[in-house]
Structure 1
Amino acid sequence: MAINWIKRVFVLTSILAIVLLLPFIASAAPATVDFSNSAIVSPEINLTPQQRQQLQAVRQRRNKDIQAMLDSSQRAKVAKSLHGGNSLNQALESLDLQPDQQQMLKAIVQISNLKMKAISARFLHN
């Protein structure tokens, strides 16, 4: 129970930090968990190496946070599904997530999408 509480506090603190640091994009969070929108920057845009690295770091952090919220059997199931050629979204949909895990997943994806939109917005305004 204490671990779930700590995870929830971490997620809520992260959301609060994002909202406070980036208020101009706080209302741009998607209503549903959809990984197809996580590729916010189209491949035609010529990003700088630094911006590509920032986007990669956001995706890696998202994946690390998702792994942290899953138990060992769920992580093994996701890894097997990914190695089988499924997307991350397909792999996660195949799991029977608890309601608190579903909420946490939604929050992780929203935070990641906000960060990627912020990175792409900086590129578009330069």
Structure 2
Amino acid sequence: MAIKLTKLLSVLAIILVHFFFLPELAWAEIVKFNTNSTVIVAQIANSSPQMELTPQMRQQLQAVRQRRNREIMKVLDSSQITQLNQNLRTGDNFAQALAKLELQGEQKELVEAIAKISDLKIKRILSRYSLQTSQKY
């Protein structure tokens, strides 16, 4: 029980650190953006191989994903990690492989919090990219 509480507190601490040191991430949820433009950015990010990210941005995206994976692995027990690896080998993407796991209540909350933080970081990186490309034209 103490370990679960420690993990929960550490995730909450991470969220608070991001809130205070990266305020643009915290405001991203509060400010009302045009939802159509958000959908367009998501479609471009997922379906566009012609997206020419800088090497630095690619590295930042990779670092966010690696950190997300490490944090999620800390939450899972050894049998769940084994099952996750098997799901990934069968061709599932990371989100599908996680969805197939039978996570307990706190584990599920922690994984969702970690995923949400990572998604916000990725959106921030991609929004900087879209701002840079729109300023060129």
Q: Does 1:113 align with 2:119?
A: yes
Q: Following superposition of structure 1 onto structure 2, how do residues 71-110 of structure 1 map, counting pairs within 5 Å?
A: 71-110=77-116
Which 4+ residue blocks in structure 1 deviate beyond 6 angstroms? none
Cα RMSD, aligned residues only: 2.1
- Deviation readout 1:32-54 (Å, 9 max, x if unpaired): xxxxx9x9562432111011000
Q: Bigger relative contact order, structure 1 or 2, given CA contacts below 8 A and separation 6+? A: 1
- Deviation readout 1:70-109 (Å, 9 max, x if unpaired): 0000000010111111122221111111110110011000
Deviation at 1:19, TM superposition (A): 1.8
Counterpart amino acid of residue 64 in structure 1: R
CA distance in 2, matches of 1:88, 1:27: 27
Question: What percentage of aligned pairs have identical amino acids?
Answer: 45
Q: How many residues align?
A: 118
Match of residue 58 from structure 2:
52
Match of residue 26 from structure 1:
26
CA distance in 2, matches of 1:69, 1:50: 29
- Deviation readout 1:4-54 (Å, 9 max, x if unpaired): 12211110011112222333332545xxxxxxx9x9562432111011000
CA distance in 1, matches of 2:25, 2:96: 27
Taking structure 1 as the reference length, what is the TM-score of the superposition? 0.83
Higher helix residue share: 2
CA distance in 2, matches of 1:50, 1:59: 14
CA distance in 2, matches of 1:11, 1:44: 35
Counterpart amino acid of residue 75 in structure 1: I
Unaligned runs of at least 5 residues, structure 1: 30-36
Match of residue 32 from structure 1:
none
The answer as to whether partners of 2:53 and 2:129 remain within 8 angstroms in 1 is: yes
Unaligned runs of at least 5 residues, structure 2: 30-38, 133-137
Larger Rg: 2
CA distance in 2, matches of 1:28, 1:74: 33
CA distance in 2, matches of 1:7, 1:72: 16
> Per the alignment, in what secondary structure is the counterpart of residue 51 of structure 2?
coil
